[in-house]
Chains A and B, each alone.
Chain A
C-alpha cells in the first residue's frame, strides 16, 4: 500500500511486519519517533510484541540480547551517544552470534553535543562483527528491516545487523512509501528458529570463558560468517526484488557509470543528492557517475574493484573522519585496489559533519577541484573565519 509517512514510521512499519517478540529502546533524538510509533502499535494491540522501556541504551541492548538468546526475534533503535553506550553490548551480541536488528538514525557524536546527521556513530562499530547496511531513502529503509532479519537469521550467518539511516534527513522526512503488508512479510520472512537458544527442556550454556586455546577460533568463525554474509546480502536483495519488484543494489549499486571517467562514492541519503548532481554534470557533458555503498560491512571489496575498473578519478565523500588517520571508506577502497592492475586516483573528502547542509553546489565544487588535481582528506565547506583564533 502506498502511504505518505514519516521516515521513522516507515521503519516502524517495516519492523512491525517482521513480528518482533521483543522491542526495547531508550529515548534519543533523532531516533525516538521510531520506537514511539512501535509503542503505539503495541498499545493499540496492532503489534503483539513485548515493549520494554529501559533505563539506558546499554540496558536496551542487553534486553534484546537476552531476548534473542531465549530464541526471540528482537529489535532496538538508537543513535550517536546511545549507540556508543551500547558499544560493549554490541561486540558481545556479535560474539554470541545473536541475529538482532538495530536501526541507527545516524547522528554526530559529542563533544560538542550535536543532534544532527553524520556517520561518526556507526563507523565506530565497523569492527564489531555486525553487518552494516546504509539506506538511501525511506522506501529503502522500510524494505531493509525485513531484509536485515532475513540476512542475519540465515543459519549459516547468525549475525546482528545495523540498519543505518540518516538522522533527520530521513527519520523526519515525509515521503511516499510502498509499505509491506503482513501477509507479504510472512511469505518473505520465515519465523525465527535458531538452532541453539536458552530452553529449560534442552539446557545450554551461553557466554563461556574462551581462553587462549579457544578464543582465536571464535574470531575466525566470526570473520568467516561475516565474509559469507556477502552472498546472503546479495541473495536476499534478489529475492526481495523478485517478490516486491524493488531494487536498491545489493552490496553496492551504480548510477550512470557505464562510460564514466569519474565517480563519486558515498553511503546513505547523500547518494540521492549525488544522483541529482551527476545528472546535472552529465547534462553539461561530464562523464561522471556514482558508486553507492549499500553494505559497508562486510566490505564489498570485489564489487568496488569491478565497478571502478575503468574509472580514472574516484571521489570518496564520507560523513565521518578516522581522527588521526584518514577517511575510513577511502582507505578501504584504496586497499581493495592495491593489488589490481588498474589503480584510479582516489580523492577523499569529509562532508556534512554534524549536519552541515550538502547542496549540489558543494558537490560540483568538489568535482571541479578533483578535475584539476586529486585531493586528500579535505573538509568540504569549511568556514575559515571560524578557525581563526580571536586576537
Chain B
C-alpha cells in the first residue's frame, strides 16, 4: 500500500494548545495534584474560570509575581472556593457574561471534606452551574502531612503517627462523593491521575451537564505518602486495582457506572508496601495481620458495594 495516499487522508493534528496550567510552577517532582489539575484544565479548555482553596495547588502555582494560570483564577481562603465560585457565577449571570463559560472550583481534601464542607454543601444545594474538583491526596500536605477526613485507615500522618498504642489514622475515608451525591446533584464522579483518559472524559462530561457537579480525583503525593517520585501513576493505579479507591459515576445520587477491576485485582499489600506511610504495618515483628485484615475488608466492601469484581 502506498504511503502517500494514507498520508494525504490523515487529518492534520490540531496545534497543541497552551495548557491553562502552565509548566514551570513549583510543585514537587512527581506531584499527583499538579498533574490532576493540568488534566482537568486541559479537558475544560479556554473560557474557564477557576477558584482554588488554600493549599499546595495555590501555593506552588501563584507565588507572586509568578502565576502558572493562563485563565481567570482566584484564590481567596482555605474553605470557600465553592462559595467564591458561586459568587462569580452570580455576577456573570447578572452581567450577561455567563454564556459558554465553565466555572471550576478546586480544593484539596482538607479544604473540601473538612473545613470547606459547609460552603461545598451550600454550593451543591443551590444548583449553581459549577464543577467542584477535590484533589484528594489524603492529608494536609501543604502544612506538613497532617490527617484529614479523607486520610485512609492506618495511614501515618504527622498528626496520626503510629506508636505503641496506635496503628496510625484511626478512621476510614469520609464518603464525600456519597455526601455530594446525597444532595441529588446531576453528576458525581471519582477519578484518578492513574487513569488520565478516564479523568479527562469525566471532566468533559461533567462540564456538559447543567447544574452542580462534584468530582473527587485521587492524586498521590510522593512527599506525604513516601514513595519514589516516578511511582505516582503506578501507585494511583494500584489504589484502584486493590479496590481501595473505587472509580465510579453517580447521577442524581445513584451509582450509574463503575470501573471494574475484575481479574486485574491486586492484593492490598501491593498498594500499601511501596508507601512509607504504611511501612509500620510491615515492620519486623509488627504483628499487623489484624490491621491488614481490616484494610482488606475495606477493599472487599468497596468491591461488593460498587460491583467492581
Contact = CB atoms under 8 A, between A and B. Distances in A.
A55 B101 contact: no
Contact of A62 (B75, B84, B91): B84
B78 to A, nearest CB: 9
Nearest to A60: B83
Contacts of A69: 74, 76, 84, 87-88, 91
B71 interface: yes
Contact of A209 (B49, B62, B92): B62
A341 interface: no
Given A55-B119, A92-B77, A208-B75, A203 B87 contact: no
A196 to B, nearest CB: 10
B49 to A, nearest CB: 6
Given A55-B118, A203-B71, A209 B64 contact: yes
Interface in B73-97: 73-77, 79-80, 83-95, 97
Contacts of A206: 73-75
B67 A63 contact: no
A205 B67 contact: yes
B80 to A, nearest CB: 4
A interface residue count range (under 10 / 10 to 19 / 20 to 34 / 35 or more): 35 or more
Contacts of B85: 66
Interface in B226-264: none
A74 B65 CA distance: 28
Contacts of B65: 214
A205 B73 contact: yes
Contacts of A54: 83, 86, 122, 126
Contact of B118 (A59, A65, A210): A59
A50 B118 contact: no
B74 A66 contact: yes
A89 B80 contact: yes
Contacts of A211: 63-64
A67 interface: yes
Contact of B94 (A50, A56, A198): A50
Interface in A198-223: 198-200, 203-211, 214
Nearest to A69: B74
Contacts of A208: 62-64, 67, 75
B93 to A, nearest CB: 6
Interface of B: 46-49, 51-52, 58-59, 62-65, 67, 69-77, 79-80, 83-95, 97, 101, 118-119, 121-122, 125-126
19 contacts: A24-B87, A50-B90, A54-B83, A54-B122, A58-B79, A62-B80, A62-B84, A62-B119, A63-B90, A65-B87, A66-B51, A66-B85, A66-B90, A67-B87, A68-B87, A72-B91, A89-B76, A203-B71, A207-B76
Interface of A: 21-22, 24, 48-50, 52-56, 58-59, 62-72, 74, 88-89, 92, 96, 198-200, 203-211, 214
